[in-house]
């Protein structure tokens, strides 16, 4: 009888405890990235999205910026594409046809910022952590205008021109739905191609 009780207790505890492992919920950042990547029809595997989420959370915490705002900016800037480059045909100073690229990487850092900060174009388009950290660092610097421009300071990430900043705000706010940076504190839902964005 004693052996039966011990055996029963062992089986019961094993059965009850075996499925007791808490499932790890995806972070709000990963959930947002996954949803937006589907909506903008950007096809990346889960490992890439997970790494992207972790790095955005890590450097957003380091530089004290909103990770969901970072996600929205990266969605607008590059559709989460590390290799993205903004290029177009043009003319050199000598008047010869030239193919010129002006913005690089997932955070689309401009050539002027690259020159000013002595950044590597190659690393911006091949090293995800490098590209993310430098983009977030530049975004964090816009916080110096936060007191004066509480809802729009972050648009300086793209430009200092007042008209283009307003346009940029509208573009990024298609993907950012947390509230006051887009609609004066009111919660709202945006739609992309007729689908709910968040």
pLDDT at 89: 86
- C-alpha span between 170 and 68 (Å, rounded): 16
pLDDT at 19: 52
Question: Which domain does 62 fall in, by range?
Answer: 27-79+127-196
- 157-166 pLDDT, tens digit per residue, is 999 999 999 9
- C-alpha span between 18 and 15 (Å, rounded): 5
pLDDT at 24: 72
Query: Do the domain assignments include residue 86?
Result: no
Query: Do the domain assignments include residue 19?
Result: no
Query: Do the domain assignments include residue 5?
Result: no
pLDDT at 188: 36
Query: Do the domain assignments include residue 172?
Result: yes
Structurally, the chain folds into a number of domains equal to 1
Instruction: Pick the closest to residue 57 from 127, 108, 129 (CA basis).
Output: 129
Q: What average pLDDT values come out for the chain (198 residues) when binned by 10 residues?
A: 48 48 76 91 93 97 96 96 91 81 95 96 97 98 94 94 93 79 48 39
Half-sphere exposure of 104 toward its Cβ, with a 13 Å CA cutoff?
A: 22
Full-model pTM: 0.79
pLDDT at 20: 53
Query: Do the domain assignments include residue 40?
Result: yes
pLDDT at 21: 53
Q: What is the DSSP letter of 149?
A: S
Backbone angles phi, psi at 99, to 5 degrees: -105, 110
């Amino acid at each position: 009888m004693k052996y039966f009780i011990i055996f029963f207790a062992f089986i019961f505890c094993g059965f009850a405890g075996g499925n007791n492992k808490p499932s790890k919920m995806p972070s709000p950042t990963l959930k947002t990235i996954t949803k937006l990547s589907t909506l903008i029809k950007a096809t990346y595997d889960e490992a890439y999205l997970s790494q992207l989420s972790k790095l955005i959370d890590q450097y957003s915490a380091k530089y004290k910026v909103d990770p969901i705002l970072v996600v929205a900016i990266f969605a607008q800037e590059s559709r989460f594409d590390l290799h993205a480059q903004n290029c177009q045909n043009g003319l050199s100073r000598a008047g010869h046809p030239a193919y010129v690229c002006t913005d690089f990487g997932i955070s689309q850092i401009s050539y002027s910022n690259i020159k000013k900060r002595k950044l590597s174009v190659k690393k911006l388009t091949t090293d995800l952590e490098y590209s993310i950290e430098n983009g977030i660092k530049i975004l964090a610097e816009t916080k110096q205008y936060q007191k004066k421009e509480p809802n729009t300071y972050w648009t300086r990430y793209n430009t200092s021109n007042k008209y283009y900043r307003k346009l940029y705000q509208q573009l990024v706010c298609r993907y950012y739905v947390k509230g006051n940076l887009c609609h004066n504190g009111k919660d709202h839902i945006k739609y992309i191609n007729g689908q709910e964005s968040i």
